C-alpha cells in the first residue's frame, strides 16, 4: 500500500510539472505576439491584462521626453514670435497746414486703388441731450446734394468711376471716405470737399430722412447685441454724454432742424479736429496740394475735444439693467469693468488680457483645445452659444468685459465660469498664456490692415486719438513688454474688488444678481 501511495504522488507531481511547462509555453507564445509593442525593459512574461498599463507607461515616457522634431514644428509651449519684417512697413507722412488741418498718407505705388477720407474728432458724445442724434442725422444729410451736385448727380458720378462712397458715426468720431481707382483720387477728394463744405440741407429732404433714420433705428433695435451694448453704455456712464445712443431718441429724430445741423457743423467741423487721410496708390505731395486747393472753408476753431471732455467727463457707475423677455430663445448679457483710455499705458495690457480671455462660437466648433481657459470651459461643458471678450477705449475711460449668449438654464454656470476666469487674471497667470496672447494679438493687428480702407481708418483713428500714428514696430514692442506680472498688476487695478456694469436681455431670470457678481471680483484664500 505504501508503495502504491508513493507511485500516485509521483504521477501527480509529474502532471503538475507538465502543466507548469504548458503555462510557461503559453506565456512565451503570448509574449512573442506582443513583443513588437513592448519596450525593451518589459519582462519576457506578460499577460494580455498587463499589456494596457505597460503600453501607457511607454506613452507617458514619450510625453515626458518629446521628440525634438515634433517640437520644432508644433510646440505646445509657445515661444515669442519674431516680427522683424514689419520694420520695412511704408512710412506714414503727415503735413499740418497753416489752419491746423492735417494731411496724412501712406503710399503703396504698386497698388491700383486708393482710399481717401476725412476723419473728424466729433461724434454723439459731443451733443447735448436735446440735440442727441444730430451727428448721425448729419451723416445721412451730407449725401443729399450740394450747390453744384444734385443727389442724383452725386450718386451717378461715383458709380461712373466705379467708386465707393461711405460714412459712419461713432460716439467720438465721424468719418466720410471714398475708395476709388488710382486715376480717380483727385476727383474723390473734390467730391468729399464739396459735400462737407457746400451741402444744401433742404427742409423737404430733412423731413424725408426722418423716416429713413427711424426705420434704421428699428432695425438696430432688432439686433439684440446692439441693444445690450447700448444699454451697457447707458448704465455704465449714466447721466453723462457717453451713455447716450448714437442715433438718438425718437423725439429728437423727429425734431432735428436745419439750424441744428448747421450749428453742429460750425461748432465741431473745425480744421484742428479734422484729418485728411489717403492710402494706396497716392503721392503725399499731390494729396497735400489738392487739399490746399479744395478744403478752404473750415474754421480753425478754438475749442479742442480734450477741453470738451474735461468739461463733461464720463464717470463710470457700477450698476445693472435687465430686460426680461421670455419670447426670446436665448439669454444675452454683457459684464464690463471700467477700462483704460486710448492714451493710458495700461491699454496695451488690457488688449493682451482681452486676447487671453478670447472668444468662442458654437457654430464654428473647436474650443476644447484653445489657449483660452474660458473658451475651453465653455466648449467642454457646453454652457454657451458664444462668448466674446471686448476692450473698448474712449478719450478718458473705457469698458473691459465679456459678452455672452446662452440657453436660459446655463446662464448661472456661464456667469460662474466668466467671473472665475476674469478674476483669475489678478491671481494666477501663466507666462505661456501671456506669450500666446501676445503672438495672437500681434497677428490680428496685422491682419486687420488688409486693404487701403483698413489702413486709412487706422491712420485717421490714431491721429485723432494719439495725435500721431504709432509705428507697428513700436506697438509690437509695447505688446512684448507685457508679461505675467504686468497682467496681474493691471487686473488688480481694473478688476480686483471693482464695481462693474451689467446689461442683460431675454430669459435672464436665472442670471445671478449684481451682488453675486460683485462678490466674485476677489478670492478669499487662507
Q: Any idea which residues carry the catalytic annotation?
A: 139, 209
- SS3 for 222-268, per residue? CCHHHHHHHHHHHHHCCCCHHHCCCCCCHHHHHHCCHHHHHHHHHHH
Stated as kind and residue range, the H or E segment containing 462 is: helix 452-465
φ/ψ of residue 125, rounded to 5: -65, -25
Angle at 462 between CA 85 and CA 305, to 5 degrees: 170
CA distance 510 to 508: 5
Q: Which residue has the cell 522634431?
A: 69
User: 291 is written with which cell numbers?
Assistant: 487739399
DSSP 425: T
Contact between residue 276 and residue 288 where contact means Cβ atoms under 8 Å apart:
no
CA distance 103 to 282: 12
Contact between residue 459 and residue 104 where contact means Cβ atoms under 8 Å apart:
yes
CA distance 419 to 424: 8
Contact between residue 164 and residue 158 where contact means Cβ atoms under 8 Å apart:
yes
> Burial level of 141, CB count in 10 A (0-12/13-18/19+)?
buried
Contact between residue 347 and residue 485 where contact means Cβ atoms under 8 Å apart:
no
Strand 102-107 to 274-280 pairing: parallel
Q: Which residues pair with 178 in a beta bridge?
A: 116, 165
- SS3 for 476-504, per residue? HHHHHCCCHHHHHHHHHHHCCCCCCEEEE
With H, G, I as helix, E, B as strand and everything else as coil, classify residue 165: strand
C-alpha torsion sign, points 418, 419, 425, 429: negative
Q: Which of 508, 470, 501, 457 is nearest to 235 (CA)?
A: 501
Instruction: Specify the length of the chain in residues.
Output: 526
CA distance 304 to 309: 9
Distances (CA, A) of 158 to 154, 166, 271, 278: 6, 11, 26, 17
DSSP 269-292: --GGGEEEEEEES--HHHHHHHHH
With H, G, I as helix, E, B as strand and everything else as coil, classify residue 316: coil
Amino acid at each position: 500500500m505504501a508503495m502504491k501511495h508513493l507511485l500516485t504522488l509521483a504521477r501527480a507531481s509529474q502532471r503538475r510539472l507538465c502543466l507548469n511547462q504548458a503555462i510557461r509555453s503559453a506565456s512565451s507564445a503570448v509574449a512573442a505576439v506582443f513583443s513588437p509593442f513592448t519596450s525593451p525593459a518589459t519582462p519576457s512574461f506578460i499577460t494580455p491584462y498587463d499589456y494596457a498599463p505597460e503600453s501607457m507607461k511607454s506613452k507617458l515616457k514619450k510625453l515626458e521626453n518629446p521628440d525634438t522634431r515634433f517640437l520644432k514644428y508644433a510646440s505646445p509651449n509657445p515661444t515669442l514670435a519674431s516680427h522683424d519684417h514689419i520694420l520695412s512697413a511704408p512710412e506714414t507722412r503727415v503735413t499740418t497746414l497753416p489752419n491746423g488741418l492735417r494731411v496724412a498718407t501712406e503710399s503703396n505705388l504698386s497698388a491700383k486703388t486708393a482710399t481717401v477720407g476725412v476723419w473728424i474728432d466729433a461724434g454723439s458724445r459731443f451733443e447735448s441731450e436735446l440735440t442727441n442724434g444730430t451727428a448721425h442725422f448729419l451723416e445721412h444729410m451730407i449725401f443729399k446734394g450740394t450747390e453744384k451736385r444734385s443727389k442724383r448727380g452725386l450718386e451717378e458720378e461715383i458709380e461712373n468711376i466705379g467708386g465707393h462712397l461711405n460714412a459712419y458715426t461713432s460716439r467720438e468720431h465721424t468719418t466720410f471716405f471714398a475708395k476709388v481707382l488710382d486715376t480717380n483720387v483727385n476727383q474723390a477728394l473734390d467730391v468729399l470737399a464739396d459735400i462737407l463744405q457746400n451741402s444744401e440741407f433742404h427742409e423737404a429732404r430733412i423731413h424725408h430722412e426722418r423716416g429713413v433714420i427711424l426705420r434704421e433705428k428699428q432695425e438696430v433695435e432688432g439686433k439684440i447685441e446692439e441693444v445690450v451694448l447700448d444699454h451697457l453704455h447707458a448704465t455704465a456712464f449714466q447721466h453723462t454724454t457717453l451713455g447716450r445712443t448714437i442715433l438718438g431718441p425718437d423725439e429728437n429724430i423727429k425734431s432735428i432742424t436745419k439750424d441744428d445741423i448747421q450749428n453742429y457743423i460750425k461748432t465741431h467741423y473745425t480744421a484742428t479736429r479734422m484729418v485728411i487721410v489717403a492710402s494706396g496708390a497716392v503721392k503725399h505731395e499731390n494729396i497735400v496740394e489738392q487739399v490746399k486747393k479744395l478744403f478752404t472753408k473750415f474754421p480753425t476753431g478754438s475749442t479742442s475735444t480734450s477741453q470738451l471732455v474735461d468739461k463733461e467727463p464720463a464717470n463710470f457707475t457700477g450698476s445693472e439693467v435687465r430686460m426680461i423677455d421670455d419670447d426670446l430663445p436665448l439669454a444675452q448679457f454683457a459684464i464690463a469693468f471700467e477700462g483704460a483710455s486710448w492714451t493710458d499705458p495700461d491699454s496695451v495690457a488690457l488688449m493682451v488680457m482681452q486676447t487671453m480671455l478670447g472668444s468662442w462660437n458654437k457654430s464654428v466648433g473647436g474650443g476644447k483645445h484653445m489657449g483660452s481657459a474660458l473658451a475651453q470651459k465653455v466648449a467642454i461643458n457646453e454652457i454657451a452659444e458664444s462668448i466674446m471678450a471686448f476692450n473698448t477705449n474712449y478719450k478718458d475711460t473705457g469698458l473691459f468685459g465679456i459678452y455672452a449668449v446662452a440657453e436660459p438654464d446655463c446662464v448661472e454656470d456661464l456667469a460662474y465660469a466668466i467671473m472665475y476666469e476674469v478674476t483669475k487674471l489678478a491671481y494666477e497667470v501663466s507666462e505661456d498664456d501671456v506669450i500666446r496672447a501676445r503672438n495672437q494679438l500681434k497677428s490680428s493687428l496685422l491682419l486687420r490692415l488688409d486693404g487701403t480702407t483698413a489702413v486709412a481708418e487706422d491712420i485717421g483713428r490714431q491721429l485723432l486719438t494719439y495725435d500721431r500714428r504709432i509705428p507697428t514696430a513700436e506697438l509690437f514692442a509695447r505688446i512684448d513688454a507685457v508679461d505675467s506680472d504686468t497682467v496681474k498688476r493691471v487686473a488688480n487695478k481694473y478688476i480686483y474688488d471693482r464695481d462693474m456694469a451689467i446689461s442683460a436681455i431675454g430669459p435672464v431670470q436665472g442670471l445671478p444678481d449684481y451682488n453675486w457678481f460683485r462678490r466674485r471680483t476677489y478670492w478669499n484664500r487662507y
